[in-house]
Amino acid sequence: MRTDEAFALTKGALTYIPGLYALLAGGRAGEAISASYCYGVWFKHLTLLTEVGCVSVPHTVLEFGPGGSLGTGCAALLSGANCFIGVDAHPLANGMQNAKVASELLALLRNRAPFCPEGWPDFRKHLDDQGFPSKILTERVLDASLTPSRVEAILRNTSRPTLRGKPTMVNYRAPWAGTDVIEPSS
């Protein structure tokens, strides 16, 4: 096992020890994370999906344990996903901070900002020379996903995610302890 793989496995295992993750995070567990971090996490997952045959942005993105940040889900929506579902054990999402991250993510995507991947697994081969996943996030895809009315809806839903009730673009289920995460289709 490579060192980076062992580190990732150990880090993941530590999250199962109650309270330890919050202690190691210096009390920051549950805080919203930066837009650049969320941008990178989304790019990594989106590009690695191509290795299993996904050739476009998924319709729905589900994140287990988003903590205080719905930023990765917002990056997915701004890239063309139609629905984001975040499920967590505790309601930690910060609407004002998530709205700020969403606005910063919008600027990154509009500018097709480069991303320099680090860590495991390496996904540089899925980025163009400028460090952008242009094979998936084509001009056509981004033009459709970043229309003013759609962006307005994403920003509004990110700052006030739906905890329960009628599903919207951003569905946040916390505390999550049941089968009501994905609404049955009619």
pLDDT value, residue 30:
45
Output the six-digit token pair for 116.
């320099």
**161 has a pLDDT exceeding 80:** no
State the burial class of residue 166 (Cβ atoms within 10 Å of its Cβ: 0-12, 13-18, 19+): exposed
**27 has a pLDDT exceeding 50:** no
pLDDT value, residue 14:
58
Entry pTM: 0.78
